[in-house]
Each structure stands twice: as structure tokens, then as C-alpha cells.
Structure 1
Amino acid sequence: MFAPASTLPVSDVDPFALGVLEDPLPYQAHLRDAGPVVYLSRYDVFAMGRYEQVHTALTDWQSFQSAAGVGLTNFRYEQPWRPPSLLLEADPPHHDAPRAVLSKILGPRALQKLRAAWFADAEVLVDRLLESTEFDAVTDLAAAFPLRVFPDAVGLPEEGRDNLLPYGDHAFNAFGPVNSLVERGAPRVAELSDWVADRCRREVLADDGFGAQIWAAADRGDITYEQAPLVVRSLLTAGVDTTVNGLAAVLYAFARHPDQWALLRQNAALARTAFDEAVRWESPVQTFFRTATGDIDIAGTVVPDGKKILMFLGAANRDPRRWDNPDAFDLTRNPSGHVGFGMGIHQCVGQHVARLESEALLTALASRVESIDIVGPVRRHLNNTLRSWKSLPVRVTTVQR
């Protein structure tokens, strides 16, 4: 156990306690105010909640290692519960080829081929949903739309797609400690892992989807045949839950801020800004870990080699040292630079997919809906890593056609 210097702020609060996960903002503010680096005695790790230090850790992969795991488990000394992600839990040179393959497949130019179809799908979903003026914005919109378009784009067969969210939920829970949230998903780990592994096989995937393109990259020698199913798995692990929670965040933001919804309705081009501002404001991915590759000086605190460092992305995205009025959801703000998608070489490779899904859904809604009001209790779905949602009941006022 590390013995912190007397000048280093120490906290014995558990950031993964259910109460903190339910409402993390007070804890994050305390963490930022305590100092640039805080020692978390409960887990023997160092924590950073200010934007400057979090941004530095995300961009300096040489000092802040991902290959030892982006969760609490330290791969230097402990066995991971599944083979590490070739993108999230790898550093150069092992990270480079899979990243290059996915960056091309999921890049803005490649996604233009899906744009018209996804916008049309959003229109169909919204038209059907608006046959009623009340619905759950999480289950009926934020989850329904990605589960409608993304598995098709990957090339997944229809059967079993309901496994995607529970698998992702457990994967993101497993980045934290073994608490009740991890235990909640443990009974289905083997079943869900087997299902995902099976869906990564070439013969299971459609010939024209993202998955087939990944296997084609193996044919070209861009990646190995052993890497191909793991790259497909990366899509299935991180491609749904994060987008669902990002969409829920932007819908929640607009329900809370009707003036901002009015701005979007006046200017549909703000749809992409709105999504990024919601990702900054709510930070669907709240935390990730790194590991010190040597004795690292962070703002005067020396973090010893091999120690875990917990980055609070959500805290950084509301740091008043970086953002004016950070607690406001504001479409006139330039949210670029937020760390909700990470930063540097490990920045979310699927962020353009999420932006396109959000743009399609918000555009369809903005043309039909004048107002969005919350009409029941907003319920969170607790997760060790994600700022997640269970229910957001809303009532909408529609435009008369």
C-alpha cells in the first residue's frame, strides 16, 4: 500500500458507491477542489478530476499506459476476465493496425453511404412513436434507434440482438471494482461472452457490413486473422451502450432546457453541436484508468511506476478552469475539446457513428416536435463506468401537419 506524502490530498470516499454513481456531481466537484491529484485510499489509486491533468493523461500514452488495462484490474499482475481489447487496452505498436482499419471503416467519408438510410430510419421510428404523445425517451428512442441501425451496419443476424446491451453493461461494469453491479451481471457472463464471440465469426456476419470489412482487412494483411474477431468484438462492446447513453443525455438535456430545443428547431445544423455538448454535459463515459509506466510527476505529485490512475472524464468536462458556466447545457458553446470521447490515440474510434445516429434522430424529432416535457421520475441505470439511464418518461407537443 502506498504511503502518500502529507501534502497529497487523500480521500476515503468510494467513487463506485451506488450513491455516488447515482449523483456524481458533488463528488466530482470535491475532487476537483481538493487538488490536481488525489489519492483514493480505498483502492490504492491516484485520481484526477481537473481538465488539464485528465487531458494530459489521455494524450500522453507513453507515460499513461492503456495496455495494463483501462479498469481497476492491473494487467501487469492480474488476469483480465476476457482477452484485452486491441483498441482500448493496447498501446503502439499493437494498437496501430486495428485502429487504422476501424478508423477507415468508421470514418466520416465511409459513413456517408449510410446517411440517407439512417435519416430515413429515424423518420420512420419517430413517425410511429409520435402516434402517441407520451413515451419513454430512453427505451423507445435512445435505445431503439441504435439497436435498429447499428447491428444492421455491422452485419449481425437478427437473432439475439437483445444480448448487446447486457453484454456491454457488464463489460463497462467490469472496469470498476467487484461490487454489486459486477455481481449483478456475473451469472450471464459466460453465456453473453459466448454469444458475442460467435457473432464475431466471419461466416455469421453479412457480406456488406462493418464486420465483413474487418475480415476483408485481414485478407489484405492489414491485420491478422487472429485479430479480426477481436476487432469486431470491440464494435459490439462499445458501439451500442455508449451511443444509447449519449442519445439519452441529449434528449434529457433538451427536456430540461426548452430554450435550447427552440434553438435547434430554428437551426437544424446545431444537431451535431447539441450531441457533443450533451456528451460534455453528461459524459456517458465517466471514468477510465491508466497505469504509470514510470515514476511520473503530475502537478508536483510523483505517481510511482505501476500505480493505477483514475481519470474522471465527467469531472474534467465540467471543470470551471476549462469551461465557462460548465453546468449549463448551451448550444452557443463550442464543446470541441471535451474529453467525453477520450483524447489522443485512444479517442473513441466510433464517435462519428454516434454523431450520425444522433444527427438523424434529432433532425427527425426537430421537424415534428415543438416541445419535450418530462412527465415522470427519471431513473438511472447504475454502472461503474457509464452515466446510464433506465427511464425518461416524456410528453411531446407535435407539429400539426
Structure 2
Amino acid sequence: MNTTAEEHATRARTLDQIPSLDIDPFDDANLTDPQPLHAQLRDAGSMVFLSRYGVPAMARHAEVHAALRDWQTFSSAAGVGLDDLRYGERWRPSSLLLEVDPPVHEKTRTIMNGVMSLPAVGRMKAAFETEAERLADELVARGEFDALKDLAEPFVLKVFPDAVGLREDGREHLLPWGDMAFNSFGPRNDRFHRSTRTADTVRAWIFENSRREAISPGGFGAAIFAAVDAGRLDEDEGEVLVRSMLTAGLDTTVTGLGASILAFARFPDQWQHLFENPQLVRPAFDEVVRWASPVQTFFRTTTRETKVGDVVVPKDQKVLLFLAAANWDERVFHEPHLFDITRRTLGHVGFGNGIHKCVGQMVAKLEAEVVFNALLKRVKRFELLGEPRMHLNNTVRAYRHMHVRVEAR
């Protein structure tokens, strides 16, 4: 029997009629162990209201994936955090990659697609491999090391700033900068305020080293300023794009590499399978990103009244998207808690999706590839020495320490 428009309208629900949960996804307990919360959100419905922050949230893959692809309705231009960047005092300027929509986004994304094109990234491979081989030699000879402090952090803080064209001194400010930025996407809680205690010093270094005169030739930063010289960007836009790379290209990759070691330590058969099938190196990192979801959440803002299922969402409404929960949705991924490098990960949202999908993902995948290849030649097995210690952040599921022992091949 056909449903009439009147009957369909009566079934529509407003935000005050959907399941409401008085929970804080940004408290220590939920950031430390988010999966129980994510399961609760998926089970509650296609959309759930979080009364603590007055926002609806989506945690199922279908809705999250659709929202990420529909920039016309679920906009990034008001900021991808809880704060609406159109109003009030800002801690930081908007990202010209994450927090703009077309037509501005088309200009900056086109430029960055060229800056970080496959040939441009490929030119960085030899330098990345040299550093990965050096670290692998040193750490495997040691036998025990911290997968974060001894591997992921020094590797990323060497190769990516080199690729951008940053000077060597002062790079200790890069991770605090990213920590502040990703904390700012959540609420203004104690965690955010703690991360901004050194904001003036960190921000001053970042802004100074995002300028043309601080960038060495031959890297991603120089390519951005070449676009300025060609009249495709203003000078200040070039500086903002350099800062955007420094925000998005470090913390998440450090976390992704740390999560890779964790995954292979907990699922040793997968490391052996990768050794026997090295062509799976790139798919293996996609599975890491799905399984670990370094970026856990992002916000969007509705540009018009819209419907999600039978729920009517008003215009100018912040909506919280749980990327990590979507990546563990059993409706899409069979036994999602299992780390399986042969899994078909197509559709995972660990890099986002739609027009705002991570522009630097090829760089992150190359970094993972060279680290995996260097370790595959030397390491037979990883063993966790105790549980990893988390570094809690409002957006990124990060680690502080992860001590491991390796069995050499």
C-alpha cells in the first residue's frame, strides 16, 4: 500500500522526539575506551540527541558516509568543531582545506591536489625510505623500544616537515600545535585549556615558519608559494595552507603508525601474512585506519532543513559525526573489531569522504609503506610490554607511550 504524504509527515520526528542520551563523548572514560559508547550510539538509532551539548549525532555508517558526501547540506564552512566559527571569538582561523566549501574549496583543493600529487609525493619516497631504514636498524638492534617516542614521532617529525620545507630547529612545537587544533574541535573543556597553556609560544613559531622566507625550496611549502606567485592565491592564503598541512599532516600520521604497531602486536598472524604478501602493504594501512580511526569525530552544520531517515533536522544545526563508530558498523564491516589486512575496506571513513576527504592521505600511506617495508625485513614478531598509554585528545585517538619488544628475523 502506498504511503500518503500526510502519513509520511506524521511519521517525521523532530530532534526532541529522537533518543536522547546524557553522555559526554569527550570525557576521559569515553576517549580512553570509545567502543562501548559507539555501540550504544549505533544501537540507539540513525540519529541520537546528545543533551550535554545540545547536538544530534550520527554513528551508523550509512548516515555518516552520506553526510560526509553531502557538503551542500552538511557544511564544513561553520567549522568542523563544536564551535560555530561564524560567530564569537576564534582561537584560530578557519582551515582553507577542512573548513571551507565551494567555491573557495575548489580553489584551495585544486592547488593542494597539485602540490601533493602522486608525482610530487613520489619524489619524497627515497628520503622517506632512508629514514625508515635508519630507524628500523637502530630499533630492531635495541630489541625493545617505544613505538611512539622512538619510532612514529621521530619518523614523522623528520620526513614530513622536511617534505614541507621547514627548518630543523623548533620542530618540538609541531605536535603541541596539532594537539591544540584537534582539541579545539571539541568542547572548551579542561583538556583543551591544558593544551593551550603554551599557545602563544607554539603559535608564534608556527606562524613565523609558515611564511615564504622560512620555507626551503623544493618541497610542498615552496609549491604553495609558487601558486601564490602564479596569482592563484594571496600571500596570506599561502601561509594558511602551509599551516593547514602542519595541522593535519603530523598528529594523525603519528597516531596511525602507532596504531599499526598495536594492531600487528595484537594480531601477529596479520604481520606474518603481510610478510608473505607484501603487495598488501597499502591495503594494510587502510585497514589500520579503519580499525583504529585516528580521527574519531568531526562536526558539520546544516545549511537547510533536512531529513535523516524520518528525523527533521533544522537549518544551522551542528551535527556530530562519529567516524570511528561508522568504521565499526557491523552493517558494513563483518566482525569490525578484528584487524584483517585482507578486508575490503572500501567505504571506510577514516580519511573522511566526499570533497573534504584527506588531501594528504597519499603522503600518510607512503610513510606507512616505507615503515612497514623496513620493519618487515627485520621483525618477525611484535610483543606489547604492557598496555599502551593514551594521550587523550578531543578529536584524535592518540597514544603517549607504547612499549614493545621485537623478535628479529
Name the TM tier (shorter chain): over 0.9
1:266 corresponds in structure 2 to 276
Residue 334 of structure 2 is aligned to residue 347 of structure 1? no
**Shift, 1:233, TM fit:** 0.5
For 1:325-363, what per-residue CA distance to the aligned partner results, in whole angstroms no more than 9, with x for missing partners? 111100111112110000011000000000000000000
For 1:279-358, list aligned pairs within 5 A: 279-358=289-368
1:187 corresponds in structure 2 to 197
For 1:66-95, what per-residue CA distance to the aligned partner results, in whole angstroms no more than 9, with x for missing partners? 000100001233332111111111100111
2:230 corresponds in structure 1 to 220
For 1:220-279, what per-residue CA distance to the aligned partner results, in whole angstroms no more than 9, with x for missing partners? 122222210000000111110010011111111000000000001112221111111010
**Shift, 1:155, TM fit:** 0.5
What is the TM-score with the length of structure 1 in the denominator? 0.97
Residues 54 and 313 of structure 1 are in contact (CA less than 8 Å); yes or no, is this contact kept in structure 2? yes
Q: Residues of 2 paired with 1:395 and 1:41: CA distance?
A: 44
2:81 corresponds in structure 1 to 71
Residues 40 and 46 of structure 1 are in contact (CA less than 8 Å); yes or no, is this contact kept in structure 2? yes
1:97 corresponds in structure 2 to 107
Residue type of the alignment partner of 1:269? Q
Counterpart secondary structure, 2:186: coil
**Shift, 1:6, TM fit:** 5.9
Distance 1:52 1:129, change over 3 A: same
Counterpart secondary structure, 2:256: helix
Counterpart secondary structure, 1:130: helix
Q: Residues of 2 paired with 1:95 and 1:80: CA distance?
A: 20
1:168 corresponds in structure 2 to 178
**Shift, 1:385, TM fit:** 0.2
Counterpart secondary structure, 2:382: strand
Say which of 29, 32, 44 aligns to 2:42: 32
Counterpart secondary structure, 1:47: strand
What is the TM-score with the length of structure 2 in the denominator? 0.95
Q: Residues of 2 paired with 1:206 and 1:387: CA distance?
A: 32
Say which of 154, 165, 178 aligns to 1:155: 165
Say which of 61, 81, 88 aligns to 2:71: 61
**Shift, 1:158, TM fit:** 0.7
Q: Residues of 1 paired with 2:405 and 2:215: CA distance?
A: 39
Residues 67 and 90 of structure 1 are in contact (CA less than 8 Å); yes or no, is this contact kept in structure 2? yes
1:83 corresponds in structure 2 to 93
When structure 1 is superposed on structure 2, of 61-70 and 218-227 the one drifting more is 218-227
Distance 1:6 1:216, change over 3 A: closer
2:62 corresponds in structure 1 to 52
**Shift, 1:300, TM fit:** 0.8
Say which of 210, 221, 232 aligns to 1:211: 221
Residue type of the alignment partner of 2:82? L
Distance 1:29 1:394, change over 3 A: same
Q: Residues of 1 paired with 2:229 and 2:180: CA distance?
A: 32
Residue type of the alignment partner of 2:227? A
Distance 1:273 1:5, change over 3 A: closer
Residue 15 of structure 2 is aligned to residue 21 of structure 1? no
For 1:117-132, list aligned pairs within 5 A: 117-132=127-142
Residues 388 and 401 of structure 2 are in contact (CA less than 8 Å); yes or no, is this contact kept in structure 1? yes
Structure 2, unpaired ranges of 5+: 1-12
Q: Residues of 2 paired with 1:164 and 1:348: CA distance?
A: 19
Say which of 122, 130, 152 aligns to 1:142: 152
Q: Residues of 2 paired with 1:382 and 1:41: CA distance?
A: 22
For 1:222-237, list aligned pairs within 5 A: 222-237=232-247
**Shift, 1:7, TM fit:** 3.9
For 1:13-50, what per-residue CA distance to the aligned partner results, in whole angstroms no more than 9, with x for missing partners? 01111110000000000000000000111111110000
Residues 14 and 312 of structure 2 are in contact (CA less than 8 Å); yes or no, is this contact kept in structure 1? no
Residue 346 of structure 2 is aligned to residue 368 of structure 1? no
**Shift, 1:5, TM fit:** 5.2
**Shift, 1:148, TM fit:** 1.4
Q: Residues of 2 paired with 1:50 and 1:64: CA distance?
A: 16
1:278 corresponds in structure 2 to 288
Counterpart secondary structure, 1:223: coil
Counterpart secondary structure, 2:407: strand
Residue type of the alignment partner of 1:162? E
2:250 corresponds in structure 1 to 240
Residues 279 and 340 of structure 1 are in contact (CA less than 8 Å); yes or no, is this contact kept in structure 2? yes
Residue type of the alignment partner of 2:140? L
**Shift, 1:4, TM fit:** 5.4
**Shift, 1:207, TM fit:** 1.3
CA RMSD of aligned residues (A): 1.2
Residues 268 and 382 of structure 2 are in contact (CA less than 8 Å); yes or no, is this contact kept in structure 1? yes
1:107 corresponds in structure 2 to 117
Structure 1, unpaired ranges of 5+: none
Q: Residues of 2 paired with 1:104 and 1:251: CA distance?
A: 31
Counterpart secondary structure, 1:187: coil
Residues 4 and 39 of structure 1 are in contact (CA less than 8 Å); yes or no, is this contact kept in structure 2? no
**Shift, 1:191, TM fit:** 1.6
When structure 1 is superposed on structure 2, of 387-396 and 102-111 the one drifting more is 102-111
